[in-house]
Structure 1
């Protein structure tokens, strides 16, 4: 397949490099020092599953430089989703199947609003990876999984082709007919982990060991489940309790990308996580006081570390 990976960070870099190693024609869209490093030496993925290096000519600086494409993997930060969709519409990749590996429940709605509905596959990924240095991505552990599914029957054939490509590359991949539910299942956990690690400024081990912060973690997830149910998503009422039990199995030092971004002074995906839960809750008439408080606490940091105010 001819595959474009928009965003060559931890997620896009890992999955894209594995697909390239399996013989697919993969082109990354990157920028800054990461782009320049890949142009010099290729993208290197360091992983317990084996290191991979892509070709130096496998990267471009913008979506408009892409040629005809079969599959586009979107792996940019959530605030770039609208821009990516608009650029795709006027590029040579405009007819490609599009699969977002981003976080959140808003991403596919943005893509489907701007692209042909049958182009967009629903999907989620499970992996721990990050840019270690320009041109180098570090894959933590061995988990690299993708779950995908069509929103429309007309996308089913494309979904099967994408599934086969991932599996051929040695990536754990499966299909699910209720992909919206799967996306929300990950979202519940993601919102809980992101909200608590960022506001408490501690990893999950500290949060789950303290009675009050543990309750905060549960309440944030329970509110997200209630919003999902009000949206028509089939989540069990006990799902937040299930996810709290899952949190007890995680390494104590585990944190979230939003916590890491907060510590580094980077922009936050808060408006699409706890902030996104609040927006949906307001629209549906569902209370979400814990997520609202998280969004309020972190509001000064949404665009990065705030400047001192005199």
Structure 2
């Protein structure tokens, strides 16, 4: 399979390198020093499951440099989704299917609006990986899971082919017949984790052990769950409690990428997490005061805080 990976960070870099090691023709779209390093020496992934390195020159600077492609994997930050969708719509790549491994529920809505419903598969991933230095991605533990599924019956064959490609690359992969529900389930959890750890500025262990912030965590997820149900996604009545029980099993030091970005002064994905819950809830007439408050508290930091004003 000819695969283009848009974004060679922790997610795109890890899964793309595994697919390349399994024999697929993988090209990354990267930038800056990371791009230069991949062109020079390939992309190195360090992992407890075994290190892999892609061939040199396995990256390009722009989508327009890609040739005919069977599958495009989108693994950029959410704020780049619109731009990527526009560039994909105008690129001469043949007629590839597109699989986003980004966070949130807005990603596929944006991609489908520009590329058409037929071309966009549903998927989500579970992994902790990051760029350690240009040309090097570090996988933090053994979790490396992807769930993929079709939105339309006509996508079933391609969805199965993508599932097989990940499975053959020794990635923990599951097919889904209700991928929208799976994506929403992850979204609800991620909104809860990101909202509370970022607002409290502490890891999950602190959040869950304090009576008031534990209620905050539960209510943030409950609001997102109500939006999901109003959007036609059938989440179980016990879903939030199940997620709270899961939070109790997480390492006390675990936090969210949004909390990490906040601490580093980086741009935040807030508009597509708690802010996204607010935007989705408004036309549905659903009150989401907890998510709205989190979005308001963190609003000054959305564009980053590397040079705060006095």
Q: Could you tell me the TM-score, scaled by structure 1's length? A: 0.98
What is residue 231 of structure 2 aligned with on the other side? Answer: 231
What is residue 50 of structure 1 aligned with on the other side? Answer: 50
Alignment RMSD (CA, Å) = 1.0
Cα pair 1:88 1:94 within 8 Å, conserved: no
Q: Could you tell me the TM-score, scaled by structure 2's length? A: 0.98
What is residue 198 of structure 2 aligned with on the other side? Answer: 198
The Cα of 1:307 is off from its aligned counterpart by 4.4
The Cα of 1:10 is off from its aligned counterpart by 0.3
- Matching of residues 284-295 of structure 1 within 5 Å: 284-295=284-295
Gaps of 5+ in 2: none
- Matching of residues 198-217 of structure 1 within 5 Å: 198-217=198-217
Cα pair 1:69 1:92 within 8 Å, conserved: no
Partners in 2 of 1:39 and 1:139 — Cα distance? 21
Cα 1:64–1:8 change in 2 (3 A) is: same
Partners in 1 of 2:94 and 2:102 — Cα distance? 19
Partners in 2 of 1:67 and 1:307 — Cα distance? 40
- Matching of residues 272-287 of structure 1 within 5 Å: 272-287=272-287
Q: Which moved more, 1:90-99 or 1:21-30?
A: 90-99
What is residue 62 of structure 1 aligned with on the other side? Answer: 62
Superposed CA deviations along residues 210-267 of structure 1, whole A, max 9, x for unmatched, are 1111111111001000010111100012211110100000111111111111111111
What is residue 31 of structure 1 aligned with on the other side? Answer: 31
What is residue 19 of structure 1 aligned with on the other side? Answer: 19
Partners in 2 of 1:189 and 1:146 — Cα distance? 16
What is residue 304 of structure 1 aligned with on the other side? Answer: 304
Partners in 2 of 1:93 and 1:248 — Cα distance? 45
Cα pair 2:41 2:57 within 8 Å, conserved: no
Q: Which moved more, 1:270-279 or 1:128-137?
A: 128-137
- Matching of residues 89-100 of structure 1 within 5 Å: 89-100=89-100
Aligned length: 310
The answer to whether structure 1 residue 257 and structure 2 residue 280 are counterparts is: no
Partners in 2 of 1:283 and 1:148 — Cα distance? 29
Cα pair 1:227 1:280 within 8 Å, conserved: yes
What is residue 154 of structure 1 aligned with on the other side? Answer: 154
What is residue 183 of structure 2 aligned with on the other side? Answer: 183
